């Protein structure tokens, strides 16, 4: 199953992932009307997990020998509210009308929690960004989802190079 060489685990091939149902992508697309009726906080909930995993994959690929603590520190800087808000604002004009509507719904959603380490405006835009990610993920729009996450990651890297 996993091949090791001197305590290093090789990357598992796509066939193994597919054969063992380890693929995170679902082949099922939810009905768009069902996704539109979901509470926007639920969209943000799934979007948070999807974006977090995407960023973890980006950093582990970019820094394969870095220890997990440092990788986590980088990830936290990338997924924090201010970074997501910055991406949401910069990407807004490139979004479709439907995507903009989801982002706005998320931004305007009332949250049960108050951010302790973020400005309220950043927190709201970050919620909108995560809702958009969740929306695209649940609709199985892989290509568009990856375009947006790639663009958000590039925005982060452009504005944050001096911290690394």
- The answer to whether 49 touches 131, Cβ cutoff 8 Å, is no
Assess whether pLDDT exceeds 80 at residue 99. Answer: yes
Q: Determine the pLDDT at residue 32.
A: 82
More confident residue, 29 or 19: 29
Average pLDDT for 82-100: 96
Residue 70 CA: distances (Å) to CA of 9, 50, 76: 20, 21, 10
Average pLDDT for 74-96: 96
Q: Which of 105, 142, 145 is nearest to 127 (CA)?
A: 105
Residues acting as catalytic residues: 48
**Where are any strands of DSSP class E within the chain?**
4-5, 8-9
More confident residue, 35 or 85: 85
Question: Which structure tokens are listed for 106?
Answer: 């998320």
Assess whether pLDDT exceeds 60 at residue 73. Answer: yes
Average pLDDT for 122-137: 96
pLDDT-based confidence at residue 117 (cuts at 50, 70, 90): confident
Chain-centroid distance of CA 115 in Å reads: 19
Chain-centroid distance of CA 55 in Å reads: 7
**Domains with residue ranges and CATH for the chain:** 30-163 (1.10.1520.10)
Q: Determine the pLDDT at residue 5.
A: 43
- The answer to whether 13 touches 2, Cβ cutoff 8 Å, is no
Assess whether pLDDT exceeds 90 at residue 118. Answer: no
Task: Please state whether 34 falls in left (phi above 0), alpha (psi between -120 and 50) or beta.
Answer: alpha
Look up tokens 């539109």; give the residue. Answer: 36
């Amino acid at each position: 199953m996993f091949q090791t060489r001197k305590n290093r685990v090789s990357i598992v091939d796509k066939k193994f992932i597919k054969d063992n149902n380890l693929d995170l992508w679902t082949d099922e697309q939810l009905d768009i009307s069902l996704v539109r009726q979901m509470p926007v906080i639920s969209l943000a909930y799934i979007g948070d997990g999807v974006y977090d995993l995407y960023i973890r994959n980006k950093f582990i690929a970019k820094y394969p020998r870095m220890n997990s603590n440092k990788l986590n520190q980088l990830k936290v800087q990338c997924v924090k509210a201010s970074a997501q808000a910055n991406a949401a604002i910069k990407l807004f004009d490139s979004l479709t009308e439907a995507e903009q509507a989801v982002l706005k719904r998320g931004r305007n959603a009332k949250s049960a929690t108050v951010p302790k380490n973020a400005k309220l405006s950043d927190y709201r835009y970050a919620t909108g960004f995560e809702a958009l990610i969740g929306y695209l993920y649940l609709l199985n729009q892989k290509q568009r989802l990856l375009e947006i996450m790639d663009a958000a990651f590039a925005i982060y890297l452009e504005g944050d190079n001096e911290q690394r």
